[in-house]
Structure formats: structure tokens, C-alpha cells
Amino acid sequence: MTNSSWLSHVRKTIYDNAGISLTQILKRANKTYKNKKRGGKRKIKKSRKKTLNKKNKNKNKKKNKKKNK
């Protein structure tokens, strides 16, 4: 499967820099190309995930203490 946005960027770079070898054009295109990230789930870092779990455990402990009183 080809990345059509990359190919179109290379074609534009070729047009802008006529007379340069293909290897040089690919190097220039690589410097100026910005890969567009597509949507998806946002990943939570492991360290953040651990702190969230600790907070939930602490909340549950407090609730259980209140119930026992």
C-alpha cells in the first residue's frame, strides 16, 4: 500500500527543484515532509495510569471506612 501524500509531496519537490538528481530530491522531500497523524485513542503513559489506579484505590478505601462507621 502506497502513501499517496508522500508521493504527491515528492512530485511537488521534483517540480520545484528541476534538474536535481532523484536522491537529492528525496533527501529534500524527507526534510520538508510532515507526516499527518490520524485520529485514534489517546494513550495514557504507564506512570500516569498507575497514579490513576492508586487514586481510585484510595477513594474506595475512604468509602469503605465511611460505610463501616
Tens-place pLDDT, residues 22-56: 999 999 999 998 876 666 566 666 665 555 666 66
Query: What does pTM read for this prediction?
Result: 0.47
**Number of domains observed in the structure of the chain:** 1
In a domain, 18, yes or no: yes
In a domain, 24, yes or no: yes
Tens-place pLDDT, residues 53-66: 666 666 666 666 66
What CA–CA distance (Å, rounded) separates 32 from 49? 36
Which residue range(s) make up the domain with 11?
1-33
In a domain, 8, yes or no: yes
